[in-house]
Amino acid sequence: MVLRPICEPVELPIGASVIAERVTVAADAPEIGSFRHFHDVAELVLFGRVRGEFTADGARHPLRDGSIVFVPSMRHHDYALERGAMDWLLVQIDPFVVESLGLSDRLPALARPFRALPDRRGRERIEMLGEWLVEAVGGGAPSSIVERIVELLLLAVAEAPQTAPAARSEVPTHSERLLPALERLRTAPSDPLDLETAATLCRLSPAYFSRRFRQLFGMTFTDYSRVHRLHLAARRLAGSGAGIAEIAFGVGFSSPAHFSARFRERFGMTPREYRASARARATQGRGTE
């Protein structure tokens, strides 16, 4: 059986660390079928009207109006939504923003997927913060303002009462079996990870690991590793003053020239051009304050 690819690095706009957008589904739209996937951003969904199920880490949660879902970076999850009118606010956050805020250490809830159902007052606070975030992101506000709103929003969500899953599976999924290699890529990008070592981390043979990885991701492990490191480099170019050579070596490329060539293939511009574009966007945002 050939599986659909379930993971692709989410491409945040140049210089941005957060995507916040409202989604509306018409009453006559077909149901949204189950599709297990995961991605490199952290994901927060503030549902308005909804009927269906949310599944993460083998736990299945029913969804009803007012539900809130949070999924950390690189954790597989799934939505199966029934037919009918629905709406939600989708927030996707650069995982390094969550890490830099130190929220996972202060609030253990943010280290794992969960579904919450706040009371009326809690819901009002969360909805207000969600509106502020949409306005800030849409209006090109400076990243410092956007990230402060994200911090307040995550704090409010983490304090909301969580609901117990309706069912739980003890059988690990194929994607869970690959998570040790993905976690190593995330935590040690400067240390190149070859196929054999990745397979060993997952306690799989290289042949089985390679075959399963391609089925699940739609690309080889080598290609995914390169794309992951390039997206990390893009974040560092936009959000730090580190030199291009330092960033290149910091994400595991053998030379700045090799890094620049691969970066241009992926983003259509050189690292220097990417950084200039990100800084211009940030300056424009500050000018609108």
CA 72, 79, 224: angle at the middle one, nearest 5? 55
CA 98, 171, 90: angle at the middle one, nearest 5? 30
Which stretches of the chain drop beneath a pLDDT of 50?
1-7, 171, 288-289
Query: For 283, how many CA atoms within 13 A lie in the half-sphere containing its CB?
Result: 6
Under 8 Å CB-to-CB from 78, ≥6 apart: which residues?
34, 35, 36, 37, 53, 54, 55, 56
For residue 259, what are the domain limits?
174-280
Quick count: other Cβ atoms within 10 Å of Cβ 25? Answer: 18
Q: Do residues 180 and 160 share a domain?
A: no
Angle between helices 221-239 and 271-287 (to 10 degrees): 40
> Residue 9: inside a domain, yes or no?
no
Q: Do residues 143 and 275 share a domain?
A: no
Paired tokens of 48 = 């308005």
Residue that finishes a domain, picked among 117, 150, 168: 168
Q: Do residues 224 and 104 share a domain?
A: no
The whole-angstrom separation of Cα 169 and Cα 217 is 22
When divided into structural domains, the chain yields a total of: 2
What local confidence, expressed as pLDDT, does residue 249 receive?
A: 96
Q: Do residues 178 and 156 share a domain?
A: no
CATH of residue 231's domain is 1.10.10.60
Residue that finishes a domain, picked among 145, 168, 191: 168
Q: Do residues 146 and 239 share a domain?
A: no
Q: Do residues 142 and 243 share a domain?
A: no
> Residue 289: inside a domain, yes or no?
no
Residue that finishes a domain, picked among 150, 168, 186: 168
What local confidence, expressed as pLDDT, does residue 173 receive?
A: 57
What local confidence, expressed as pLDDT, does residue 165 receive?
A: 84
> Residue 3: inside a domain, yes or no?
no
Instruction: Identify the DSSP state of 160.
Output: S
Q: Specify the residue for token string 């509106």.
A: 131
Q: Do residues 156 and 204 share a domain?
A: no
Beta bridge partners of 18: 93
3-state secondary structure at position 166: coil
> Residue 7: inside a domain, yes or no?
no
CATH of residue 142's domain is 2.60.120.280
> Residue 1: inside a domain, yes or no?
no
The whole-angstrom separation of Cα 121 and Cα 144 is 27
Q: Do residues 182 and 100 share a domain?
A: no
Query: For 238, how many CA atoms within 13 A lie in the half-sphere containing its CB?
Result: 24
> Residue 8: inside a domain, yes or no?
no
Under 8 Å CB-to-CB from 117, ≥6 apart: which residues?
64, 66, 67, 68, 160, 161, 163
Q: What is the pLDDT of residues 228-256, one digit of tens each?
A: 888 888 878 877 789 999 999 999 999 99
**Is 68 in contact with 118 (CB distance < 8 Å)?**
yes
Q: Do residues 157 and 181 share a domain?
A: no
Q: Do residues 152 and 235 share a domain?
A: no
What local confidence, expressed as pLDDT, does residue 166 receive?
A: 78
What local confidence, expressed as pLDDT, does residue 74 receive?
A: 67
Q: Do residues 117 and 232 share a domain?
A: no
Q: Do residues 50 and 146 share a domain?
A: yes
What local confidence, expressed as pLDDT, does residue 10 receive?
A: 61
Quick count: other Cβ atoms within 10 Å of Cβ 4? Answer: 10
> Residue 75: inside a domain, yes or no?
yes
- The H-or-E segment that residue 154 falls in is helix 143-159
> Residue 10: inside a domain, yes or no?
no
Paired tokens of 193 = 């990870």
